[in-house]
Amino acid sequence: MADKRVCPVCGSTEFIYDPRRGEIVCAKCGYVLEENVIDEGPEWRAFDPDQRAKRARTGAPMTLMIHDKGLSTDIDWRDKDIHGNQISGMYRNKLRRLRMWQRRMRINDAAERNLAFALSELDRMAAQMRLPRRVKEAAASLYRKAVMKKLIRGRSIEGMVSAALYAACRMEGIPRTLDEIAAVSKVSKKEIGRSYRFMARGLNLNLRPTSPIEYVDRFGDALNVSARTKKRAKEILREAIEKGITSGKGPTGLAAAALYVASLLEGEKKTQREVAEVAHVTEVTVRNRYKELVEKLGINVPI
């Protein structure tokens, strides 16, 4: 077990934790630094996931993705008792009525109903985009803050949810374009952009501009190019950033152009149309950014 302390005998900083004896021992000389250490784990053992689930006395951790943060009680949908036996007909009907009233009581007012709908929509969109849990939690946190500041009133729930997801992607370093958000949303790209600007002002979000380098890996995977080509594209973009060529230009267009140049240099030629479709930009944008990179960086592209 790693520790910042130093062994008073040999001066080592490497230690071993012995859970059976409750001791912290020096890994080099064996000196016992601490004994009777309290074990904060459970007092029971489990040898498979089913056994662990049965013996655990706690539920799932708190999550912002559920309107009540997952702190309410759920009545299981399986009509079985604690021993796994089927519940008889009379009690089964009673249990179904209890389950129905439980669902109704979890949402007390319009605000909770709004939040429940928004978070389910957020979960659907994030699942379709295959975004990690941390992005979903960040988006849910932003939406909750917007609700507390009464920014949602008079605006579409779908638009504000999409804006929160777009902002969360940028905050977590997994940027997605407005076109990609709009593809899974029920509102237009224009509405998402408008909602995002409104949310950013209302919550004082100071997000740094997205770097085109952050798009290279994803676009490169979609184009099925090698790691060598993606690395070359990043090198081109770093040089372009240092020389101030990227200032005022869209990051997706720059990433697409850099990948196009890198594919030509590495002998994995891709057409401008293929690159433009992956980056959700026009061929004209790819062509213009390509010309700028080649001319200003002095790149000799093979014909």
pLDDT in tens, 9-43: 888 888 888 877 888 899 888 888 888 887 777 76
169 is in an annotated binding site: no
* Residue bearing the bigger pLDDT, 114 or 163: 163
Over the Cα atoms of the chain, what is R_g? 27
Domain 212-297 in CATH 2.40.50.100? The answer is no
The architecture in CATH of the region 8-40 reads: Single Sheet (2.20)
Which pLDDT score, from 0 to 100, does residue 94 have? 82
Give the separation between CA 34 and CA 22, rounded to whole angstroms.
8
Tens of pLDDT, residues 77-98: 777 777 777 877 778 788 888 8
User: How is the chain split into domains, by residue range?
Assistant: 8-40, 110-203, 212-297
* pLDDT value at 274 more than 70: yes
Q: Is the pLDDT of residue 45 over 90?
A: no
Check whether 59 has a pLDDT greater than 70. Answer: no
Write down the CATH superfamily of domain 110-203: Cyclin-like (1.10.472.10)
Question: Could you tell me the pTM of the whole model?
Answer: 0.69
Q: Rounded mean pLDDT of 296-300?
A: 86
Instruction: Give percent of the chain above pLDDT 70.
Output: 95
Does residue 189 surpass a pLDDT of 60?
A: yes
- Listed range (84-88, 146-150, 206-210) with the worst mean pLDDT: 84-88
pLDDT at 3 (0 to 100): 45
- The CA–CA distances, whole Å, from 58 to 42, 55, 61, 78, 103 equal 11, 9, 9, 19, 21
CATH topology of 110-203 equal to that of 212-297?
A: yes
DSSP letters, 232-283, are: HHHHHHHHHHHTT-STTS-HHHHHHHHHHHHHHHTT----HHHHHHHHT--H
Residue 126 pLDDT class (50, 70, 90 cuts): very high
